[in-house]
Amino acid sequence: MRKASPDLLLVLVAIVWGGSYLSAKQLVAEIGVEPTLALRYGIGSLGMLGFALIRRTDRAGIRLILSGVVLGCSQASILWLETAGVGRTSATNAGILISLSLILTPLLEAALLKRRLPLPFYLAASGTVLGIALLASGNGRLRVPTGGDLLVLVAAVVRAAHVTATARVLRKDDSVVTLVTVQMLVGAVLFAALAAPSAASWVRRLTLAGIANAVFLGLGCSVFAFLVQAWAVRKTSAARAALLMGTEPLWAALIGIVIGAEALGLVQLLGAILIVAGSLAGSAIERRRRERRIEPPSATAKATASAASGNILSSQATRSAEAAADRSARP
């Protein structure tokens, strides 16, 4: 991995995450929401536990474990909303709408800290709202978003809250690997309990393609993406890492259209562009404001649990800052 390009690996992570929506949609159609999440969390938990044992991660304190349990519950709610939503809408819509968490997180943090964001940020946010209306349109006619779209929108709001909470819980010397492992174990237990009563039914419906999707979601979108991202973001700039991983909704749309045979009309395509562009622009505006003020890291940055002392992030901490919240918000 040392000879690999960090930028290329971060794009690969974005592609893998973009493909998760179509895989989840296909698996949900086969066995249902709770069994899908039970397999995803179960496989991912085994992978993370294996890595933690090989790495010989330091023993976690009771505070970090309890934090992981609480955050694991909120993470599980995010994945349930996303997975239930993608089962009722297109993978393209789900991948695009969830990117709204990029702009909702700074808004939530600003509200909690009673700070105002720059005017351009609110203009970018307004663009995303218009984009939602256009994306939800059918044949060029505006309509109320589908039930699946609404579930994904709620997931974006909950993810923003999860990221903000993670930022306030993590400390400088906390192990993100341990926190993520605990969260995944919590999700595995919760969804195994929900899926167990109907196991005899959904196990019989599980095909080889379904097993492949489950392995992709558990190992590819969870363990592989987490480990690669954790390494790559330390080898490039924070802004570059955020930009590259911010391409996830574009890959979700491309994979949904090319592989999933989904379609977007011209009006819906315009809406998708507004959502993605507005989310990325808003995130970049908030980051530049933070850097100019040389203020403590925001929810996104603090989630790496680095630079707890002082108001200036170290360069290494900054490089890993932009992606940490998603590392904890994605099983």
Summarised one tens digit per residue, pLDDT across range 82-122 is 999 999 999 988 988 888 888 888 888 888 888 888 888 88
Range of lowest pLDDT (71-85, 120-134, 192-206, 284-298) = 284-298
Report the percentage of the chain scoring pLDDT > 70: 82
Among 162, 106, 155, 153, smallest CA distance to 131 is for 153
Residue 86 within a domain:
yes
- pLDDT for the residue 19: 94
Identify which of 84, 86, 26 has the alpha carbon closest to the alpha carbon of residue 215: 26
Half-sphere exposure of 151 (CA within 13 A, CB side): 20
- Is residue 180 assigned to a domain? yes
Residues 48-90: tens digit of each pLDDT = 999 888 877 667 788 889 999 999 999 999 999 999 999 999 9
pLDDT higher than 90, residue 39: yes
Which pLDDT value is given to residue 192? Answer: 97
Indicate the number of domains in the chain: 1
How many separate helices (H) and strands (E) can be counted in the chain? 16, 0
Confidence bin at 131 (pLDDT 50/70/90): confident
> So what's the pLDDT on residue 281?
87
List the structure tokens of 34.
């709770």
Measured CA to CA, the distance from residue 7 to residue 233 in angstroms comes to 9
Radius of gyration of the chain from Cα atoms?
19
- Please tell me which residue, 283 or 43, carries the higher pLDDT value: 43
- Identify whether 302 is part of a domain: yes
Of 79, 85, 87, whose CA–CA distance to 184 is shortest?
79
**CA proximity to 297, closest of 15, 92, 105, 137:** 105
The residue among 226, 228, 224 whose CA lies nearest residue 2 is: 228
User: What is the pLDDT confidence band of residue 203, given thresholds at 50, 70 and 90?
Assistant: very high
Q: Is the pLDDT of residue 194 over 80?
A: yes
Tokens encoding 73: 């519950």
Q: In which domain, by residue range, is 321 found?
A: 6-329
pLDDT score of 1 more than 60: no
How many residues in the chain? Answer: 331
- Confidence at 303, pLDDT banded by 50, 70, 90: very low
pLDDT of 298 over the 50 cut: no
CA 210 to chain centre: 22
The residue type at 224: F
What integer pLDDT is reported at residue 169 of this predicted model? 81
The proportion of the chain whose per-residue pLDDT surpasses 90, expressed as a percent, equals 34
How many of the other CB atoms lie within 10 Å of CB of 202? Answer: 18
Higher pLDDT, 60 or 157: 157
| Span 187-213, average pLDDT | 96
1 is a domain residue: no
The structure tokens listed for 221 are 């979108």
Q: Exposed/middle/buried for 73, CB within 10 Å: 0-12, 13-18, 19+?
A: middle
DSSP 142-181: --PPPHHHHHHHHHHHHHHHHHHHHHHH--TT--HHHHHH
In angstroms, the first-to-last Cα distance of the chain is: 22
Q: What is the pTM of this model?
A: 0.81
Q: What band does 313 get if pLDDT is binned at 50, 70 and 90?
A: very low
Spatial contact of 67 and 167, defined as CB atoms under 8 Å apart: no
Band (pLDDT 50/70/90 cuts) for residue 255 is: very high
**pLDDT surpassing 80 at residue 184:** yes
> By mean pLDDT, which of 91-95, 127-131, 138-142 is the weakest?
138-142
Measure the CA–CA gap between 302 and 227, rounded to whole angstroms.
19
State the burial class of residue 3 (Cβ atoms within 10 Å of its Cβ: 0-12, 13-18, 19+). exposed
Higher-pLDDT residue of 275 and 138 is: 275
Kindly report the backbone phi and psi dihedral angles of residue 138, in degrees, each rounded to the nearest multiple of 5, phi listed first: -120, 125
The answer to whether residue 21 is domain-embedded is yes
When pLDDT is averaged across residues 187-214 and rounded to a whole number, the result is: 96
Whether 291 is covered by a domain: the verdict is yes
The pLDDT value given to residue 330: 57
CB 267 within 8 A of CB 289: no
pLDDT category, 22, cuts 50, 70, 90? Answer: very high
* pLDDT mean across residues, the chain: 81
pLDDT at 320 over 60: no
